[in-house]
Structure 1
Amino acid sequence: MKNQNTIAIGLMTFAMFLGAGNIIFPPFLGLEAGTEYVPAMLGFLVTAVGLPALTLIVFGRLSDSAQLTKALPQPLAITFWVLLFTAVGPAFAMPRAVTVAYEMGIKPFVSNDHLMIFSIIFVTATLILAFQRGKLVDYIGKVMTPLLVLMLAALAVAAFITPLGPLSTPTLDYQNKAVASGLIQGYMTMDAIAAVGFGWIIIKAIRDKGCDSSQGIFKATLKVTLVYALLMSACYLALAYVGATSASVAEGASNGGELLTRYVAAIFGPLGQYLLAGIIIMACLTTTVGLTNACAEYYQQTFRSPFAITATIVVILTGVIANFGLDQILTVSLPAILILCPVAIALVLTAVILPTTKRNSASYVAVVMISLILGGLDALSILDLLPQSLVAVLQKYVPLFEAHASWFLPVVIAIAISKLLSKRTIETEGFYQKATSAD
């Protein structure tokens, strides 16, 4: 594939991942990390960028997103994909993008509530761009993303050249375990589950540029992933540094969005709010376009549902749900996201070690069940729905429960055991084949 196409798809990938949450989360993390900025960000990048990058590389090796669940029984595989695309599509991620784009991009400039009008305009723009399937790389990768990168670069340059102050004093968590805290926060971005959804778009974009062979798709995916990882890492580092040097304007700020708004106002003055509004709206739009395409691509490939019909249903549901408000969206949909994320990561980790064939069906089912059950416990803990007595017991006896990753070690052990059993089975079959041939 031509280098210019590789870069364009890489830029498109970066833009699809860069939602509002990815922009407003790092500043608050930077504020809490302060002088422990470097170790905290090292941990953060491992999980916030490393896990999604690993997921994309696995898809590139499989050369088809559907291969990830090929070893599972078909009903279980379909259930996983439908739940995933519902959660990262119209039930959670897309309505959240609409509401955040309005809250940070429009609401500061208007006096009355115009969420409904804005959501109609926003989802209409999403649908128009989503219909440009063959030109998605051109529109997002070659036009929208460079503009987004330029706006973010302006913010980053200002942060490093004229910081508002010295690095802040780290909170207790970052004083004692900066790397571990960064790892946990990076995992909580949930970008790994977004990578599973975006895999459908990225592999199709590579194929549309004339790259059909498995080896060619894998090489192209590696290059695309490198572009995404470099840009996303630079973005996270810059935004976290903004937060780390913003202590002078941070008093009373309850989230990264509020902190970023104050910082931009202090550095750029009144025009800064327009810059931030442009960044947020552009980031949210590229994310909703990518998710719309991912949902429609899956339903078209799996159920032969017409792309246009599925995309239209997705954006209509997104617009309707967005008007219920962000708090209601989080209350209803967040548990599903928190449970699906461990399952998605577990499947990716398994695909790294075990071929996605029916021969390994039992292993894949076991991994899904382990991650589902323990990931469910983690989700209930995050949502404060477990009795404190049970939480105390789990913290004492379950490794990584405090890090909301109690599923991780059991899944790794299950994969290792499956690999050993698979190797022994192959060796045994080889022995019998040799014995049969000798007879």
Structure 2
Amino acid sequence: MTKQNTLAIGLMTFAMFLGAGNIIFPPFLGLQAGTQYFPAMLGFLVTAVGLPALTLIVMGRLSHSQQLTAALPKPMATGFWVLLFTAIGPAFGMPRAVTVAYEMGIAPFASNDLLLPFSLVFVTVTLLLAFQRGKLVDYIGKVMTPLLVLLLAVLAISAVVSPISPMTLPSAAYQHQAVTQGLIQGYMTMDAIAAVGFGWVIIKTIQDKGATSTNGLFTSTVKVTLIYAALMSACYLAMAYVGATSSAVASDATNGGEILTRYVANLFGLQGQLLLAIIIVMACLTTTIGLTNACAEYYQQTFNAPFSITATIVCALTGLLANFGLDQILQISLPVILVLCPVAIALVITALVVKPASSQRAIFVAAVSVTLVFGSIDTLHILGLIPAQWESTLTDFLPLYAAHASWLLPCLTTLLFSFLANVSLGNRSKPVASTPAK
């Protein structure tokens, strides 16, 4: 694969990940971290960029996205993929992108409620660009992403050259545990689960550009992932710095979108608000295009469903659900995503050390099952559904419960013991060589 194609696919990957949430989340973290900006961002980048990057590399090593679940029983594997693509696609990820694009890109300039016509136009544009599968890299990687990076660079450079205010003291949570808080917040972006979904599009695109051998695909995936990781890290650092230096105008802000709106309005006035609106709408559009392709690619390869029909249904459902409001979308879909995220990471970790194959089914099923149990506990914790009388007990006796990652150690322990047992059984089954007679 040529260097130009590698760069273009790397830019496309960055753009697909760069949704509105990725832009508006870091400023709030930066505002809370204040002078603890650097340690907080160190932790944040490990989980917000490191986990998705690891996922993409593992997917490239497998040479086909569906191999990630090859060792699981077919009903379990199919159920995982269907739930994943439904959750990150028309049930949650895409409607959220449409709603955020409207709330931050259109609503500030409109006197009437225009969500319905906006969502219709937005999903129509998404569908039209998703149909151009062969030109996806040209549209996103060579046109939209460079423009998006340029717009973000203007905002970031302005913040660095002329910050509105100095960094303030960190909030209580970041005073002594800035790295830990950064790790938690980075994990909560749940980009690792998006990486599993986007892997379908990214790997297919790399193969279409000529990297068909196993080694070639893996090498190209690593290069593409490094481009994504570098750009996403720079974006996160810049947006968090904006938040860290925004206390003069946004000390009482409750979310990153509010911080960015006040910041750009203070620096650029109306022109700044227009700049922010363009950034948000473009970021959401690239994400919905990528998710539409990922969903349609999966249903085409798994169920032989026509790409055009599946993509149309996905976009139609997205436009419909976007008009029900973000709160309702979150209420229905968030629990599923919160459970799927640790399961997806567990699959990636297992595939990193054990080759997915039917002979390794017991290891994969054990790791997924244990993760599902403890991941469900984390989900109930995040949603505030754990009974108060259980909180102190779980905090004291369940490692990483406070970090919403109580599934990690049980998963790793299960993986280790399953792997050792598998090796032991394998050694026992080997025939003992007979000693030749003298």
Aligned residue in 1 for 2:183: 183
1:59-78 superposed matches below 5 A? 59-78=59-78
Aligned residue in 2 for 1:317: 317
1:340-419 superposed matches below 5 A? 340-419=340-419
Please give the alpha-carbon distance, in whole angstroms, between the structure 2 residues aligned to 1:242 and 1:9. 28
1:279-294 superposed matches below 5 A? 279-294=279-294
Tell me, which stretches of 5 or more residues in structure 1 are unaligned? none
1:25-424 superposed matches below 5 A? 25-424=25-424
- Stretch deviating more after TM superposition (66-75 or 166-175): 166-175
Task: Tell me if the contact between 2:89 and 2:291 (Cα under 8 Å) persists in the aligned partners.
Answer: yes
Runs of 4+ in 1 over 3 A off after TM superposition: 433-438
Please give the alpha-carbon distance, in whole angstroms, between the structure 1 residues aligned to 2:148 and 2:365. 41
Please give the alpha-carbon distance, in whole angstroms, between the structure 1 residues aligned to 2:145 and 2:346. 31
1:2-41 superposed matches below 5 A? 2-41=2-41
Please give the alpha-carbon distance, in whole angstroms, between the structure 1 residues aligned to 2:64 and 2:6. 18
Task: Tell me if the contact between 2:101 and 2:280 (Cα under 8 Å) persists in the aligned partners.
Answer: yes
> In structure 1, what residue type is equivalent to 2:89?
G
Please give the alpha-carbon distance, in whole angstroms, between the structure 2 residues aligned to 1:250 and 1:420. 53
Please give the alpha-carbon distance, in whole angstroms, between the structure 1 residues aligned to 2:308 and 2:278. 28
> In structure 2, what residue type is equivalent to 1:3?
K
Aligned length: 437
Task: Tell me if the contact between 1:353 and 1:415 (Cα under 8 Å) persists in the aligned partners.
Answer: no
Q: Secondary structure at the match of 1:343?
A: helix
- Stretch deviating more after TM superposition (247-256 or 33-42): 247-256
Could you tell me the percent identity over the aligned residues? Answer: 67
- Stretch deviating more after TM superposition (17-26 or 243-252): 243-252
Task: Tell me if the contact between 1:72 and 1:364 (Cα under 8 Å) persists in the aligned partners.
Answer: yes
Please give the alpha-carbon distance, in whole angstroms, between the structure 1 residues aligned to 2:401 and 2:85. 27
Q: Secondary structure at the match of 1:336?
A: helix
Task: Tell me if the contact between 1:339 and 1:376 (Cα under 8 Å) persists in the aligned partners.
Answer: yes
Task: Tell me if the contact between 1:165 and 1:248 (Cα under 8 Å) persists in the aligned partners.
Answer: yes
Task: Tell me if the contact between 1:353 and 1:419 (Cα under 8 Å) persists in the aligned partners.
Answer: no
Q: Secondary structure at the match of 1:194?
A: helix
> In structure 2, what residue type is equivalent to 1:398?
L
Structure 1 position 284, deviation (Å): 0.1
Please give the alpha-carbon distance, in whole angstroms, between the structure 2 residues aligned to 1:422 and 1:355. 13
- Stretch deviating more after TM superposition (244-253 or 141-150): 244-253
Task: Tell me if the contact between 1:292 and 1:315 (Cα under 8 Å) persists in the aligned partners.
Answer: yes
Please give the alpha-carbon distance, in whole angstroms, between the structure 1 residues aligned to 2:333 and 2:413. 30
- Stretch deviating more after TM superposition (161-170 or 95-104): 161-170
Please give the alpha-carbon distance, in whole angstroms, between the structure 2 residues aligned to 1:228 and 1:308. 28
Tell me, which stretches of 5 or more residues in structure 2 are unaligned? none
Task: Tell me if the contact between 2:72 and 2:361 (Cα under 8 Å) persists in the aligned partners.
Answer: yes
Task: Tell me if the contact between 2:116 and 2:323 (Cα under 8 Å) persists in the aligned partners.
Answer: yes
Structure 1 position 422, deviation (Å): 2.4
Please give the alpha-carbon distance, in whole angstroms, between the structure 1 residues aligned to 2:434 and 2:322. 66
Alpha-carbon displacement from aligned partner over 1:125-148 (angstroms, at most 9, x marks no partner): 000000000110110000000000
Please give the alpha-carbon distance, in whole angstroms, between the structure 2 residues aligned to 1:413 and 1:436. 39
Alpha-carbon displacement from aligned partner over 1:212-250 (angstroms, at most 9, x marks no partner): 100000000000000000000000000000000001011
Please give the alpha-carbon distance, in whole angstroms, between the structure 2 residues aligned to 1:311 and 1:168. 47
- Stretch deviating more after TM superposition (167-176 or 65-74): 167-176
Task: Tell me if the contact between 1:168 and 1:246 (Cα under 8 Å) persists in the aligned partners.
Answer: no
Q: Secondary structure at the match of 2:90?
A: coil
Give the TM-score of the pair, scaled to structure 2: 0.98
Q: Secondary structure at the match of 1:89?
A: helix
Task: Tell me if the contact between 2:366 and 2:415 (Cα under 8 Å) persists in the aligned partners.
Answer: no
